[in-house]
């Protein structure tokens, strides 16, 4: 079975490694032309696999390359570009895609972020048959996982959905080879779609319930970083912990500062922030941060 792999980053690289290790016939590798695709390019070249680094998958040379290598199956492993319909029509077995949510919930490019921001107790991954819609294709297989109370987008992805996703793609390939891969339509009545998780949604409102704020911080960790402001500077929060207790403080007020964290009073409790970032700087500890911006106990963030 002739396979084209389209992907990027560590996930695309590890999927390619897994396919090569299993002796699958990978006839083409496509990844972005920048650092996101460097590892896949090097691996493809090492094994003599045809490689192309297009700026966009709609570029004419991509279609020509697809036709030249004649894939039976195309695998999308962490793809942020949209494949045009004429590419989807090339492989006679179809195109399958990894998506890090339990579809049809959380369609879109920030599925993991939104599962945490919205307080879901469980999520998962889906291997689906790609169609012209955004994460709307029929389901081939799914895996469900719990979201821990302290999980961040980073920990949930790298510790769980990343390794599980590689195994799920290999499982899907085996089902396809055996002619046993299902095509289960998604239940549109349960579908949700959320926009990209960026600064349009990452701003902290300290008047909201503490759980909502905590989930927002976890869901935006590591990217884009939930943020507030202080003295005109944008402050991003990471490594958060929540403590539900009675606090007689104004929401957003600094309660204490030490090496373990910056403690902030909220409605219904306290959130401890272990790492912070100022504007476009590096993540730093709470004491270094407070010295940098002249933040003191009793000061209020967001004002």
Hey, where are the domains in the chain?
2-190, 210-293
Distance (Å, whole) CA 31 – CA 41: 7
Q: What is the mean pLDDT of residues 233-256?
A: 93
CATH architecture for the domain at 2-190: 3-Layer(aba) Sandwich (3.40)
Q: What is the mean pLDDT of residues 118-141?
A: 97
State the pLDDT at residue 300. 96
* Mean confidence (pLDDT) of the chain: 97
Rg (CA), the chain: 22
Q: What is the mean pLDDT of residues 204-220?
A: 97
Instruction: Report whether pLDDT(280) > 90.
Output: no
Instruction: Report whether pLDDT(303) > 80.
Output: no
Provide the token pair at 246: 């009675």
DSSP 207-258: TS-HHHHHHHHHHTTTTT-EEEEETTEEEEEEEEEEEE----S-TTBEEEEE
State the pLDDT at residue 92. 95
Q: What is the mean pLDDT of residues 32-61?
A: 97
User: Distances in Å between the alpha carbon of 162 and those of 43, 99, 100, 143, 169?
Assistant: 19, 10, 9, 12, 11
Q: What is the mean pLDDT of residues 49-64?
A: 97
Q: Bigger pLDDT: 82 or 30?
A: 30
Task: Order across the sheet with 233-244: list the strands.
Answer: 226-230, 233-244, 269-278, 261-266, 254-258
Distance (Å, whole) CA 166 – CA 164: 6
Instruction: Report whether pLDDT(197) > 80.
Output: yes
Instruction: Report whether pLDDT(173) > 90.
Output: yes
State the pLDDT at residue 17. 98
β-sheet bridge partners, residue 107: 193
**Coil, helix or strand for 56?**
coil
Residues near 216 by Cβ (< 8 Å), separated by ≥ 6? 117, 202, 204, 226
Which secondary-structure segment (H or E) carries 38? helix 38-46
Q: Which CATH class for the 210-293 domain?
A: alpha beta
Residues near 228 by Cβ (< 8 Å), separated by ≥ 6? 203, 204, 206, 234, 235, 237, 252, 301, 302
State the pLDDT at residue 51. 98
State the pLDDT at residue 247. 80
pTM for this entry: 0.96
At residue 3 the predicted structure's pLDDT band, cuts being 50, 70 and 90, is very high
Distance (Å, whole) CA 197 – CA 74: 28
* Furthest-apart CA atoms within the chain: distance in Å: 69
Q: What is the mean pLDDT of residues 45-50?
A: 98
At residue 245 the predicted structure's pLDDT band, cuts being 50, 70 and 90, is confident
Q: What is the mean pLDDT of residues 191-212?
A: 97
Alpha carbon 149 to chain centroid, angstroms: 18
State the pLDDT at residue 249. 87
């Amino acid at each position: 079975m002739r396979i084209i792999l389209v992907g990027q980053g560590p996930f695309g690289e590890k999927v390619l490694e897994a396919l090569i290790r299993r002796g699958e016939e990978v006839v083409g590798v496509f990844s972005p032309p920048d650092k996101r695709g460097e590892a896949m390019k090097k691996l493809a070249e090492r094994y003599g696999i045809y490689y192309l680094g297009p700026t966009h998958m709609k570029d004419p040379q991509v279609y020509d390359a697809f036709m030249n290598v004649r894939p039976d199956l195309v695998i999308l492993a962490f793809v942020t570009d949209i494949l045009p319909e004429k590419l989807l029509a090339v492989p006679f077995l179809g195109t399958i895609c990894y998506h890090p949510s339990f579809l049809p919930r959380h369609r879109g490019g920030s599925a993991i972020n939104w599962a945490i921001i919205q307080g879901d107790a469980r999520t998962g991954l889906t291997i689906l048959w790609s169609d012209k819609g955004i994460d709307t294709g029929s389901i081939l297989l799914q895996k469900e996982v719990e979201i821990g109370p302290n999980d961040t987008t980073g920990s949930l992805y790298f510790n769980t959905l990343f390794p599980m996703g590689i195994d799920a793609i290999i499982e899907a390939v085996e089902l396809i080879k055996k002619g046993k891969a299902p095509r289960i339509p998604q239940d549109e009545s349960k579908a949700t779609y959320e926009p990209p998780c960026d600064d349009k949604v990452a701003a902290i409102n300290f008047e909201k319930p503490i759980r909502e704020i905590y989930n927002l911080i976890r869901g935006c960790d590591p990217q884009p970083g939930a943020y507030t402001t202080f003295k005109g500077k944008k402050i991003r929060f990471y490594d958060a912990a929540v403590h539900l207790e009675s606090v007689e403080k104004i929401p957003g007020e600094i309660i204490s500062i030490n090496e373990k964290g910056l403690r902030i009073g909220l409605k219904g409790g306290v959130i401890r922030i272990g790492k912070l970032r100022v504007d476009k700087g590096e993540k730093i500890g709470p004491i270094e941060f407070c010295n940098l911006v002249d933040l003191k106990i009793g000061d209020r963030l967001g004002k």
